[in-house]
Amino acid sequence: MLSGKKILVGVTGSIAAYKSAYFVRELIKLDAEVKVVMTEAACEFISPLTLSTLSKNPVAIEFIKDEETGEWQNHVDLGLWADLFIIAPTSANTLSKLVSGNADNLLIATYLSAKCPVWIAPAMDLDMFKHFSTRDNLEKLTHEGVNVIEPTSGELASGLDGKGRMEEPEVIADLINDFFIGDSLLIGKHIVITGGPTYEAIDPVRFIGNHSSGKTGVLLADECAKRGAKVTLITGPTNSQVIDKNIEVVQIKSAVEMKTAVEEIWNNCDIGIFSAAVADYRPKLAAEEKIKKSDKNLTIELVKNPDILLWAGEHKKADQYLVGFALETENEIENGFKKFEKKKLNLLVLNSLKDKGAGFGHDTNKVTFLKEDNKIVEFELKDKSAVMVDIINEIEVDLSQE
């Protein structure tokens, strides 16, 4: 579920440092990309080798990586790399440095450079935890937006019983997972997405296709998965790959194959997003052998392909939400609304080849949403991934009003 998320784990000098090995493992199991920064004191409790093996990345400890060459550890890059920085365990000493900004080690310097959310999981003996300076430091950090994962109560390394045990690694990993999923209305929803071009065979080596790169379908799939949805991406040939390994990717070539794949699951889906550039026609017969070149012209008879989105609209249940795309070159809005009505859509994403940087292949797109009651929402040219966020946000807003 944390696929594509970069988590920086800080480890400080506390007996609970042994738990960081389990914690890193949990994050890796959730598919996060993990890097570890340790204080020197932490290395007394757990070996950097353990954490680098589990995180699959070198562990950062000192400012200077290599005395001979003077190669340094760029704490600024490390801080900016992370989507979330969690210091687990956080010792009382580190806690006070986080407040004072005393950057006498790499971990604190990294903390001062980080722009992402920072979480801490304190671990110390019960009286240290109760001490006014600890409470004061925690209050200051909370006030500054640092998320404190309260320690739990139980037997402590000192033999005493009380509050001060670092929260269990699985619990913290789940909290991080929940944080990234947020309270999306897509959690648990099954979403089918079509993407890419279709290739309609003329013979074993030739086909009729189009310029769709498949990026849009892949980005849509990742955005939905990021928000906790169960995603099936049915895509034509593409070089783009989904990041989230939980996405079911069904690779097809032709429109007929795409329709079969959609028909199999549409009834069980909550949402359909049809971004594929499906060929409207296919050769009536695909030659079994390569067609030989001759001096004569060649005529290929084309027959109509099934309209997959139209089929999904006709079989749509009252609680299903359907999104279509339209790529137009003229009378965009008028033609778009015709498709919106005919295909029984909840949302139509219109893009025009007239707009520079929009449509096929580019990493950007400029879209207009067409909705019920002739509502039109126009957007600026944006990165395709930002366009997908707009689309999925729109779906979430509509679902919240149901």
Active site residues: 210
> CB 311 → ligand PMT: shortest distance, Å?
8
Instruction: Using CB under 6 A, pick the residue from 327, 347, 370, 392 that binds ligand PMT.
Output: 327
395 sits near ligand PMT (criterion: CB under 6 A): no
Q: Which stretch binds ligand PMT (CB under 6 A): 139-147, 152-160, 177-185, 318-326?
A: 318-326
Instruction: Using CB under 6 A, pick the residue from 12, 235, 275, 368 that binds ligand PMT.
Output: 275
Distance, CA of 184 to CA of 373 (rounded, Å): 26
Q: Of 145 and 361, which has the nearer Cβ to ligand PMT?
A: 361
89 sits near ligand PMT (criterion: CB under 6 A): no
> CB 328 → ligand PMT: shortest distance, Å?
6
360 sits near ligand PMT (criterion: CB under 6 A): yes
Q: Of 159 and 361, which has the nearer Cβ to ligand PMT?
A: 361
Q: What residue has token string 């019983």?
A: 161
398 sits near ligand PMT (criterion: CB under 6 A): no
Helical segments of 251-351, H only: 255-265, 308-314, 332-342
> CB 207 → ligand PMT: shortest distance, Å?
15
Annotate each residue in 184-203 with x if it binds ligand PMT (CB under 6 A) or - if it does not, as one string: ----------x-x-------
Please say whether the dihedral angle defined by the alpha carbons of residues 198, 203, 204 and 205, taken in this order, is positive or negative.
negative
Residue 150, Cβ density class (10 Å: 0-12 exposed, 13-18 middle, ≥19 buried): exposed
Distance, CA of 47 to CA of 20 (rounded, Å): 11
DSSP assignment of 334-358 equals HHHHHHHHHTT-SEEEEEETTSTT-
Instruction: Using CB under 6 A, pick the residue from 234, 276, 347, 395 that binds ligand PMT.
Output: 276
Q: Of 232 and 351, which has the nearer Cβ to ligand PMT?
A: 351
Q: 30 Cβ partners below 8 Å, 6+ apart?
A: 1, 2, 3, 173, 176, 177
Q: Which phi-psi region, left, alpha or beta, contains residue 31 (left: φ > 0; alpha: ψ -120 to 50)?
A: left
Q: Of 22 and 360, which has the nearer Cβ to ligand PMT?
A: 360
Cα 138 to Cα 38, 218, 317, 344: the distances in Å are 21, 42, 51, 54
Distance, CA of 234 to CA of 252 (rounded, Å): 7
Residues in contact with ligand PMT by CB under 6 A are 194, 196, 212-216, 255, 274-278, 280, 305, 307-309, 324-327, 339, 351, 359-361
